[in-house]
Structure 1
């Protein structure tokens, strides 16, 4: 049985209003824009293709990702909430894609090893889970891996400023993978970047 095709979708379309005047995705972290760290981690993982969903500040964010082998999707409805960006990214994936890693562009500490760990857990599971999520201190984090076939109807029905979390909270077929890493948090404010060496 062939291995399932797994893609990556990076959500980088939000306004980042809590971050201040500077576009959050462009905030410098360890010498480069925050969003570029997430993109490079995805490209270093087994996921293909890697999509990036842009919205607010699309031009400068696209420029920050210059030279990377990414597929860019622009979401004209980004102001209507996170769900619109998630749906735009998933809709642009090749039809044969079975699962997708969903990353937030404001998670600069994420690494390819974290992503490949989720992929390996999914591929080894029988039957396949609807999602694979990292858990630390009994809290679910990001990124998450979504089975697009099992979650198809639920994902299509998403609306407003939410991702897949509410869907996964009501399902019993979600695989939780223990994580001892603090990488799975996003950055909402400039002080969230302080002390930030990459793991």
Structure 2
């Protein structure tokens, strides 16, 4: 049931064109805060630390302590793959490290992420509790139909039920972050056909059609 670039969008999974917009929005809002681990233990990171070593490859947790508990991490991974599953041309969100990106995002000491950290941690805990309530098992262990039964109630276009208002806000933000993480990886950029800067053997200037379009010829 993976989604391709030509499929119509579902309320749960990512439409590729919409994903580009979300990717830009998520990238533009990159800044973080200090709150709790799973809404309980105090976050201990202070300051922003030294400048990174540009020739070093950092792993998750090298720069600041990570936040997600093991249970939250499993839920986060499963939810990423509900939003962007693998298909015949592209890997799933978890396969390209999106859960690492989200854990780094909510763990960073920058002040702008305070709301995101609280929203994401409480939302993941809600997903797990709702899964246990409905199906008596962890969200990561549910089958696709069961996972979608929970997610689609949070992602439909109509206003959320009063009891799902916070969970719906979490799900929307989580989709944005998942898209931002996925479509800034080499695999994600390839999936939407983004080439970036490509070295040219020669540059002969803009084509005549482009010059005519802007009135220069």
TM-score, with length taken from structure 1: 0.28
Q: More helix per residue: 1 or 2?
A: 2
Report 1 or 2 for greater relative contact order, CA contacts < 8 Å, sequence distance ≥ 6.
Answer: 2
User: In terms of Rg, which structure is larger?
Assistant: 2
TM-score, with length taken from structure 2: 0.27
Q: More strand per residue: 1 or 2?
A: 1
